[in-house]
């Protein structure tokens, strides 16, 4: 990736991740055998970079690849490995899974029997109540990680409660938050979810200062921005955690970071998360499965293996814009976790490109064609 402090342009990032079209075009004797004067695909692609990009997207779309689940290579293909695989299925589904459900159930019983009295009976002792609620949230997250047989290795100093700092991390699944929360009770900014996850958000997680938003509500952006600024100034508030990609990416790539976390006028502490897919793919494809199904997938695997790096805090440099600051931090996280940077906005996963973006591409294509015609 190069020097973390040095920005790479979007075009260079795209070029690094773009498929080589030469591999898909005819070459050598096949070109010589074509009739002279016949229009070839290679000639069409030479007319405009826009056509080249379109052909590359058809062959291998680098945006879609950011959100693809990669199934593991099958290994149970012969007569002596297949019985071992069947034995593993029996162990995972009929021994490990019930044991993990029991562990999680015990965790919820301990948590609720402690959290409810603390939350309602210590109303007049805010500092003590917040400290106990923080410890209980860390406890239930530890039970969740235990229910996947989580093997998590943390690198670097444990985050501390200080004003004017915000933690930012790459995002693969909602379990990112659980893995980080079991070590430190972060206040996270997160999309509001329906169902039982939404119930936890509006009750238990709100006690540690979490901030929720609705991606489709434009008014939420102003409200959330104000809440973020107020939160980072509080000395007694839990450390603020933001996933600036704004969506789950498959832990092979990082998409563009939203600049909101980098406009708060405080230190930004990068956190890099890398999953080892030896037992299970931890990527949550929210468009294809619910979080409940995702949890069941994790609980029926052998283990979730993960590394977390708490990296050196970063501050905006003189003359550096918030967007450049965000890209510099993204580069630091990507290098540490071994992820590829791509110049895509993760929100395109949920919406169509803006008319302004389409008009700009149309203008560029028109200018290219006009130059070609003038050359003729």
Residue 236 near residue 293, CB atoms below 8 Å: no
* Predicted confidence (pLDDT) per residue in 216-241, tens digit: 665 667 777 788 888 888 778 889 99
pLDDT value of residue 5 = 41
For residues 333 and 326, give the distance between their C-alpha atoms in angstroms, rounded to a whole number. 11
Q: At 79, list the tokens.
A: 């007569």
For residues 244 and 171, give the distance between their C-alpha atoms in angstroms, rounded to a whole number. 8
3-state secondary structure of 72: coil
pLDDT value of residue 6 = 42
Query: Which position has the token pair 């600049």?
Result: 259
Give phi and psi for 306, each to the nearest 5: -150, 145
For residues 28 and 198, give the distance between their C-alpha atoms in angstroms, rounded to a whole number. 60
Q: At 300, list the tokens.
A: 């029926």
- Write out the H or E segment, with its range, that includes residue 102: helix 97-121
Nearest-CA neighbor of 260 among 299, 223, 296, 297? Answer: 223
Task: Count CA atoms closer than 13 A to 275's CA, side-chain side.
Answer: 24
Percent helix / strand / coil, the chain, rounded to 5: 50, 10, 40
Nearest-CA neighbor of 260 among 209, 322, 187? Answer: 322
* Predicted confidence (pLDDT) per residue in 268-278, tens digit: 999 999 999 98
For residues 239 and 211, give the distance between their C-alpha atoms in angstroms, rounded to a whole number. 12
* Predicted confidence (pLDDT) per residue in 189-219, tens digit: 877 777 777 777 777 887 888 887 776 665 6
For residues 344 and 342, give the distance between their C-alpha atoms in angstroms, rounded to a whole number. 6
Q: At 2, list the tokens.
A: 């190069």
> Which residues of the chain have a pLDDT value below 70?
1-62, 215-220, 349-355, 357-358, 372-373, 376
For residues 184 and 210, give the distance between their C-alpha atoms in angstroms, rounded to a whole number. 13
pLDDT value of residue 299 = 96
pLDDT value of residue 14 = 45
What's 185's DSSP letter?
A: -
Q: At 121, list the tokens.
A: 């009976």
For residues 323 and 12, give the distance between their C-alpha atoms in angstroms, rounded to a whole number. 17
3-state secondary structure of 80: coil
pTM metric for this prediction:
0.78
pLDDT value of residue 81 = 87
């Amino acid at each position: 990736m190069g020097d973390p402090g040095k920005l790479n342009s979007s075009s260079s990032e795209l070029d690094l991740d773009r498929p080589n079209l030469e591999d898909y075009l005819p070459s050598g004797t096949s070109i010589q055998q074509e009739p002279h004067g016949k229009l070839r695909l290679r000639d069409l692609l030479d007319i405009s970079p826009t056509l080249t990009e379109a052909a590359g997207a058809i062959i291998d779309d680098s945006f879609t690849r950011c959100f693809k689940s990669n199934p593991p290579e099958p290994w149970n293909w012969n007569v002596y490995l297949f019985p071992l695989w069947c034995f593993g299925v029996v162990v995972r589904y009929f021994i490990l899974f019930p044991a993990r459900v029991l562990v999680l159930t015990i965790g919820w019983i301990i948590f609720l029997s402690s959290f409810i009295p603390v939350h309602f009976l210590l109303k007049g002792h805010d500092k003590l109540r917040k400290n106990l609620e923080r410890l209980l949230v860390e406890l239930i997250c530890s039970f969740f990680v235990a229910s996947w047989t989580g093997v998590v290795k943390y690198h670097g100093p444990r985050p501390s409660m200080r004003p004017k700092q915000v933690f930012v991390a790459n995002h693969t699944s909602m379990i990112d938050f659980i893995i980080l929360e079991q070590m430190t009770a972060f206040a996270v900014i997160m999309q509001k979810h329906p169902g039982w996850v939404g119930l936890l958000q509006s009750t238990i997680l709100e006690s540690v200062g979490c901030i929720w938003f609705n991606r489709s509500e434009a008014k939420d952006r102003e409200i959330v921005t104000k809440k973020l600024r107020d939160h980072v100034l509080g000395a007694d508030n839990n450390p603020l955690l933001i996933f600036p990609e704004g969506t789950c990416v498959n832990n092979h790539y990082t998409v563009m970071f939203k600049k909101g976390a980098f406009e708060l006028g405080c230190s930004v502490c990068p956190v890099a998360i890398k999953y080892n897919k030896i037992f299970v793919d931890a990527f949550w494809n929210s468009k294809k499965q619910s979080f409940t199904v995702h949890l069941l997938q994790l609980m029926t695997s052998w283990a979730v293996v993960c590394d977390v790096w708490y990296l050196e805090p970063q501050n905006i440099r003189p003359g550096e814009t918030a967007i450049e600051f965000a890209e510099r931090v993204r580069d630091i996280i990507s290098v540490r976790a071994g992820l590829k940077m791509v110049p895509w906005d993760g929100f395109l996963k949920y919406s169509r490109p803006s008319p302004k973006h389409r008009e700009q591409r149309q203008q560029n294509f028109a200018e290219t064609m006009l130059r070609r015609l003038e050359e003729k």
